[in-house]
Amino acid sequence: MLIPTETLKPKQISRRSFTAYLSGLGITSTVLTSSLWAKLQENETTKITKDMLREAERLAGLEFSDRERELMLDGLNNYLKTYQALRQVSLSNDVAPALQFNPIPPGMVFDKQQRPMKMSKARELLVPSDLEEVAFWPVTDLACLIKSRQVSSVELTKMYLDRLKRYDPKLHCVITLTEELAEKQAKRADEEIASGYYRGPLHGIPWGAKDLLAAKGYNTTWGAMPYKDQVIDVDATVVKRLEDAGAVLIAKLTLGALAWGDVWFGEKTRNPWNPEQGSSGSSAGPGAATAAGLVGFSIGSETWGSIVSPSTVCGITGLRPTFGRVSRYGAMALSWSMDKLGPMCRTVEDCAIVLNAIYGPDGKDATVLDVPFNWDAFCDLKSLKIGYLKSDFEKDRKDEQWKANDEATLDELRRLGLNLVPIELPDIPMKPMSIILNVEAAAAFDDLTRNNRDDLMVRQIQNAWPNRFREARTVPAVEYLQANRLRTLVIKAMQEMMSDIDVYISPSWEGLNSLLTNMTGHPAVVVPNGWRKEKTPSSITFIGQLYNEEKALAVAKAYQDFTSFHLKYPVL
């Protein structure tokens, strides 16, 4: 069939609409469709008209005069040529913009002295007759068994691998088992420890990585169908540093596709406490696997809630470090100015141990600062100034039980002898700044949108990445920069607010604290603090000063040691 291509206006319709048009004519061949599209691109030169500009003004919330539109046309058509020239250069996800976010306000200083870690006294433990009884033990206890050689890393690794294989069909938390690598690393750990070479508390401990972290020899799928068979032939810095600490990588764990939610190309990752529910996201697999006792600990990532939320839902302890604390080399980029990697564990001290192994510059992620992390399990809490977000705690909520749990948390902290000072977050509009995430994410996955490979994504709804990427293409560059200028004001206001506060406490899901602190880069520790109406966990969040995770961890540990919520685990 001959198609009168000279009568079509290809640049005024999308590739998708053109394909639908041909399908209506009975042409479904992909090769023929692509050939015709290419021909039309050659035959038609895009021209922006005044009518097109008039419609575009509405998207930007502006209105120009007809004379102003006339003056703009040549420049806009030159912009189009610029866009086309830019798109001739292939930009992979690991290429960051030449603009670097810095969360540190002018004049802020840090402790530059590196001191030895001060860990809690190790418990004297005996290995149970059934090794699976240790599946829910924290790293601190597992390390005692490994160091004393009561249990070998090979035995521990086999036990966790067996559990992963047994329970993953129910939880859908695993994308790839790294069994061959795990056996090799566990065997090496046992040989080193037997020879007297002990690397530290992570030596021989099996762990799981959110599958946005690259590991040589294994697929790195980002949880999304377009990248299901992707292999990135490097080890992410976090993967390499944990290997150097002697940890054993046993699985690449699920994430919601491209780090949104708990739905990936295989299924929805389930909450071990209630498999009828999802485990939240996007660190869905690390949350579920850690809570279910399938790994000793895991590594997740957060851009806006992706460690805090699944840690809450799954009842584990999560640490979102300061922006620029942990290298993201080898990790999928979603938002260059917001992405953070952090541990998801069973206890606060486990998080401190893992952070100690992975933090600091690597010469590959330019955002990482060389600031010491000095964990002290015996920190004098009475010397700390601790605040709480008064209005967020007092707000009415749908889940009255969770509010009661949060109020009980404040009471328990006061019983520990802590003086809690009421504070409020800076009164600056936060929600408009969320366009920063959407624009950066759309840039990170620009080719997915332009090549229509976003159609391969499982979730095709309004509130999912394919649609958000398309929407973000309409955000003017000026407004993106204005949002970042507003972000500067928030950073300054937070510095002023926290000048007299070492740590503050926030409801995990209430108010704008999550968005604000992800925008400013402040660290957060989330721990379980009770049960919700539907018998699933609730949590509380501790926020620390920039590059001062140790104080937030110390307060969270004191609370955790005073309660027993973290000692409970789901029955599978």
Lowest mean pLDDT among 107-111, 139-143, 327-331, 545-549: 107-111
AA identity, residue 237: T
Residues 515, 360, 487, CA angle at the centre, nearest 5°? 25
Contact between 473 and 442 under an 8 Å Cβ cutoff? The reply is yes
Contact between 329 and 364 under an 8 Å Cβ cutoff? The reply is yes
What are the structure tokens assigned to 319, written together?
């640490």
Q: With pLDDT > 90 as the criterion, what percentage of the chain qualifies?
A: 88
User: Per-residue pLDDT tens for 349-361?
Assistant: 999 999 999 999 9
All structural domains of the chain with their residue ranges: 5-86, 136-428+479-567
Mean pLDDT, the chain, rounded, equals 93
Helix, strand, or coil (residue 423)? strand
User: Per-residue pLDDT tens for 232-241?
Assistant: 999 999 999 9
pLDDT of residue 24: 55
User: Per-residue pLDDT tens for 456-478?
Assistant: 999 999 999 999 999 999 999 99
Q: Residues 6 or more apart from 185 whose CB is under 8 A from it?
A: 153, 157, 243, 247, 248, 249
Where residue 9 falls among pLDDT bands split at 50, 70, 90? very low
DSSP 68-99: HHHHHHHHHHHHHHHHHHHTTS---TT---S-
Q: Provide the pairing of β-strand 420-423 with 274-278.
A: unpaired
Contact between 40 and 22 under an 8 Å Cβ cutoff? The reply is no
Mean pLDDT computed over 273-281: 97
Q: Which residues pair with 318 in a beta bridge?
A: 344, 526
CB atoms within 10 A of CB 183: 17
Radius of gyration of the chain (CA): 26
Residues 23, 467, 312, CA angle at the centre, nearest 5°? 140
Q: Which CATH number is associated with domain 136-428+479-567?
A: 3.90.1300.10
Where residue 534 falls among pLDDT bands split at 50, 70, 90? confident
Q: With pLDDT > 70 as the criterion, what percentage of the chain qualifies?
A: 92
Q: What share of the chain is helix, strand, coil (3-state, %, to 5)?
A: 45, 15, 40
User: Per-residue pLDDT tens for 20-61?
Assistant: 555 555 555 555 555 555 555 554 556 899 999 999 999 889
Q: Provide the pairing of β-strand 317-320 with 524-531.
A: antiparallel
**Mean pLDDT highest for which of 31-35, 106-110, 219-223?**
219-223
Which residues are catalytically annotated? 210, 282, 306
Where residue 8 falls among pLDDT bands split at 50, 70, 90? very low
Query: What's the N-to-C CA distance of the chain in angstroms?
Result: 61
- The DSSP code for 122 is P
Closest CA to 464 of 173, 266, 262, 275: 262
